Structure 1
Amino acid sequence: MTFVVTENCIKCKYTDCVEVCPVDCFHEGPNFLVIDPEECIDCTLCEPECPAEAIFAEDDLPADQAQFKQINAELTKIWPVITEKKDMAPDAKEWDGKPGKLAQLER
């Protein structure tokens, strides 16, 4: 099993989760983070650290977020690994919790 970053991370991209990952499985894009399903060891450390509550265990993934399992797997192959926390985007709090952000995903 792996953990999956879902829609609410788009345009929020808090990086609190990155610091606690013991295997460096997070990858960073322009406005979203993803988890490498091949590297994730299911340690559960990242999920409670996400201020946007955008990380779910694969088995607990809400049905309306199922496409993010494939999106994480796809984008992890092209985006670089991120291992250190960064400052959040200036408008992150404005985007946190807004529905329908998939169209805002920058690949």
Structure 2
Amino acid sequence: MTYVVSQPCVDLKDRACVDECPVDCIYEGERMLYVHPDECVDCGACEPVCPVEAIYYEDDLPGDQKVYLEVNTTFFDTIGSPGGAARFGTAPDHPLVAALPPQEAAS
């Protein structure tokens, strides 16, 4: 099991979750952040600090956000498991995320 970043993160990328993650498993795409399912230790530190409630435990994903489990997982098909996001930089987003229209900022 793992934590998953979902649609509310698109075009926000607040990064509070990155600062809280003790194992550096939250990677940056061009428009959103992604949790590496093999590097996540299920500590849950990221979930309460997300200002838009975009992070869920895999089993708790709302029905309309369940696709983001696959989005987070397949994001790493190309980059593999670099062993830490801090050194990695930014990668192209998953195609589903890249195809989304620009998201409005929360008011």
TM-score w.r.t. length of structure 2:
0.74
Structure 2 alignment gaps of length 5 or more: 88-97, 103-107
Alignment of structure 1 residues 15-94 onto 2, 5 Å: 15-78=15-78, 82-83=85-86
| In 1, Cα distance between equivalents of 2:99 and 2:51 | 19
Q: For each residue in 1:49-68, what CA deviation from the matched residue of structure 2 results, as whole angstroms up to 9, or x when unmatched?
A: 11111000001010110100
Q: Does the C-alpha gap of structure 1 residues 52 and 16 become closer, same or farther in structure 2, counting only changes over 3 Å?
A: same
Q: Aligned letter for 1:2?
A: T
Q: CA deviation at 1:41?
A: 0.5
Percent pairwise identity: 43
Deviations 1:4-54 (A, max 9, x none): 000000011110000111111111011100000011110010000111110
8 Å CA contact retained: 1:27, 1:33: yes
Question: Which residue number in structure 1 is paired with residue 12 of structure 2?
Answer: 12
The AA in structure 2 aligned to 1:52 is: V
Q: Does 1:104 align with 2:101?
A: yes
Q: Secondary structure at the match of 1:19?
A: helix
Separation in 2, partners of 1:31, 1:39 = 21
- Looking at structure 2, the residues matched to 68 and 52 of structure 1 have their Cα atoms a distance apart, in angstroms, of 15
How many positions carry a matched residue from both structures?
A: 89
Letter in 2 for 1:30: E
